[in-house]
Structure 1
Amino acid sequence: MMKKLNVLVAVVLSATMLFSCSQWQSMDNTKKGAAIGVGGGAAAGAVIGKVAGNTALGAILGAAIGGGAGAIIGKKMDKQAQEIKNEVPNATVERYEEGINVKFDAGVLFGFDKSDLSPVAQENIKNLATVLNKYPDTYVRVEGHTDAKGTDEYNMGLSQRRVNSVTAFLIKQGISADRIQGFAYGKTQPIATNDTEEGRAKNRRVEFSIFANDKMKADAKKEAGQ
């Protein structure tokens, strides 16, 4: 874990080199995360793609505030991550910095080439939403990804439809729409080889980034005396 975090720190440093100091300092944390995750230039995009596997971690890194307030947020995220692990057994849950990354293989949520949630998928997302509703002061980023089969246009559309399905279902479960950020990436962010069925299955996925909103950050800073 420490090695992975050290590499992620290197990603952040690499991304900052793509901007002038004045440009970087003028960006808020969310924009920094977007710059790191979405690309911030080809170099940062390549690094984050190889190391983190997706922009979900870029958003988490960009939202971190550090210091005592960051430690307070981290403890809250530890608790929430453990609850997700307990309540959503089909999810892969990982803690990074001041956020949580949750992955679902697309096969858990959707039929082949489908964008409507299966009954099992609805139960999984419902369980996730139950935990998310206990922690209203967070943003929830939803990302859709596909394997490399098919055209760029088709895969982008499929991933967008899947993001839309998950987002709509989360809202039905009581998650406020202004907490949710939806992004479709098609086949542009593989986390495994597309040369084998096993690898393609890993690439067909939906990911969630969970990180503090402004209220949680302000409360944490106040508690930390920052």
Structure 2
Amino acid sequence: MVMMNRKIALMGLSIATSAMLLGSCSTIQSMSNTQKGAATGAVAGGALGAIIGNKAGNTAVGVLAGAAIGGVAGGLIGKKMDRQAAEIERTVPGAEVIKADEGIIVKFDSGILFDFDKTEVKPAARENIGKLVASLNQEPNTDILVIGHTDNKGTDSYNQGLSERRAKAVRDYAVSQGLAARRIKTEGRSFHEPIGDNNTEAGRAQNRRVEIVIVANDRMKEEALKEAGDS
């Protein structure tokens, strides 16, 4: 049922969520390219969901799918993302790196970042976020979305606030470490995008997480499209 719901939701998420992430950036592509990217994202969503499986929530998968442009240009972006994913895997302990086509998801168990029911980033986790920022700053032409998730213990209202505050705490610390604030946004999803069974402690532990989604910004896409056209 979870996978069926994911496939249904991805069609809308792939466009709507990417618009939320990238909406504040200046639009430097033509409308035809924008429409092409949205259409590609909608088609790619189901395939990406199958690749990623139950490792990340619909919002993260939708952002990746909605940002994809495909073709030769998409392949060029994918190569850059491969290099960055490998760098993050090498330098950021405690992070699970999920590479999917033209984007990356960096996932942290909430227990690594926060004490129980708290929103202040643990001292031990700050070094990891600092290393992630160092990697992100090596490739400035990306946009980042931080998504907070909880398990289903407690009310939806409480968990929504907790997921939002935790995502914002990660964002704020990343910005304090030198990441440009214009590049990074946040969202909280409460317990609405489980990747584990909330009826078990092991499943609930999986669901308490923060996902950091990295996608090409308009400038990277424009450069890739130009390079693909020149090749």
Structure 1 spans left out of the alignment, 5+ residues: 1-6, 20-24, 38-47
Partner of 1:201: 205
Cα deviations across residues 160-199 of structure 1 (Å, max 9, x unaligned)? Answer: 1101111101111111111112110111111000111111
**CA distance 1:206–1:30, change in 2 (3 Å):** farther
Q: In structure 1, how many angstroms separate the alpha carbons of the residues matched to 2:55 and 2:135? A: 28
Is the aligned partner of 1:86 residue 2:90?
yes
1:74 is matched with 78
Match of 2:11 in 1: 15
Matched, 1:155 2:151: no
Alignment check: 8 A CA contact 2:36 2:69 kept:
no
Equivalent residue runs for 1:74-153 within 5 Å: 74-153=78-157
Cα 1:170–1:32, aligned 2, differ >3 Å: closer, same or farther?
farther
Tell me, yes or no, if the aligned pair for 2:40 and 2:70 is still in contact at 8 Å.
Answer: no
**Residue aligning to 2:183:** 179
Instruction: Name 2:174's counterpart in structure 1.
Output: 170
Secondary structure class of the residue paired with 1:216: helix
The secondary structure found in structure 2 opposite 1:114 is coil
Matching of residues 207-222 of structure 1 within 5 Å: 207-222=211-226
**TM-score, normalised to structure 2's length?**
0.78
SS for the counterpart of 1:120 is: helix
2: distance between equivalents of 1:30 and 1:97? Answer: 15
Closer, same or farther: CA 116–31 of 1 in aligned 2, 3 Å:
farther
CA RMSD of the aligned region, Å? Answer: 3.2
C-alpha contact 1:94 1:102 (8 A) present in aligned 2: yes
**Would the aligned equivalents of 1:74 and 1:99 in 2 still touch at CA under 8 Å?**
yes
Letter in structure 2 aligned against 1:210: I
Tell me by how many angstroms 1:114 deviates.
0.4
Q: CA deviation at 1:12?
A: 8.6
Structure 2 counterpart of 1:58: 62
Superposition deviation, residue 50 in structure 1: 6.7
**How far 1:52 moved relative to its partner?**
5.4
Aligned AA for 1:66?
Answer: G
Say yes or no: does 1:192 pair with 2:188: no
Aligned residues: 202
